[in-house]
Amino acid sequence: MFLICKPVNTIYGGAKIMENHFKNILTRNKKKNGFTLFLITILLTLLPGTLIACSSNTNEKGKTEPNSSILPAQADNQGGTQTTDVNKPDEALSADAQEIKSIAEKFSFAFFNGDTDLMKSYLTKPFEWDIEVFDGSAKEVTGITIKGLADIQEKNIGDTSVVSVEYRGAPQDDSFQYLTIELIKQPDGWKIRFYGVER
């Protein structure tokens, strides 16, 4: 003589009442939650877009590479900027790195302007390769940066070093080109024994 009863019937007063109660809960919450979720989704989609559009544009490259002044000779002829890839001032570079930087700046200026006579003054004698110059307009060259100076320590005569001059051949170019310069230390200073353009 056990009494078997359904818990729904005894706790809430009947299955019919419980069924209506659940229908009301589900019906009300669906409408409210659905509309609320829809509004939240729309806001989360639109809000970041407006915030990003209003934010200032920061350039990561500008944070890691210090800007130095435009070389006077290049300012008139190129319109580009001259920077180095080192995070320390020029006086923190080794003497060899400073000399190589000076040569790379002057040689790249001659390269962009098609001045083969000036280029020859920085090349080894005899120079085994054809002397080639930049095939575009020097006035359109921008974003000039010398890469590889920070790694150069004091070298002995006969040692070599390689630096790259990064640049954009025209303002509309979406990628950089590299003038790679290989130098050798000679008794009278550093001379360029090879150079070439990587696109």
Q: What is the rounded distance in angstroms from the CA atom of residue 138 to the CA atom of residue 74?
A: 9
Answer for the pair 161, 155: CB distance below 8 angstroms, yes or no: yes
Helices vs. strands in the chain: H and E counts, helices first: 6, 5
Topology of domain 60-198, CATH: Nuclear Transport Factor 2; Chain: A, (3.10.450)
Task: Give me the residue spans of the domains in the chain.
Answer: 7-54, 60-198
What pLDDT digit, counting tens, does each position of 55-101 carry? 555 554 444 333 333 343 443 444 444 444 444 466 688 999 999 99
Query: What pLDDT is stored for residue 23 in this prediction?
Result: 74
Helix (H) or strand (E) holding 68: none
Helix (H) or strand (E) holding 178: strand 177-186
Whether the model clears a pTM of 0.75, i.e. scores above it, the answer is no
Strand order in the sheet with 82-84: 82-84, 142-147, 160-168, 177-186, 189-198
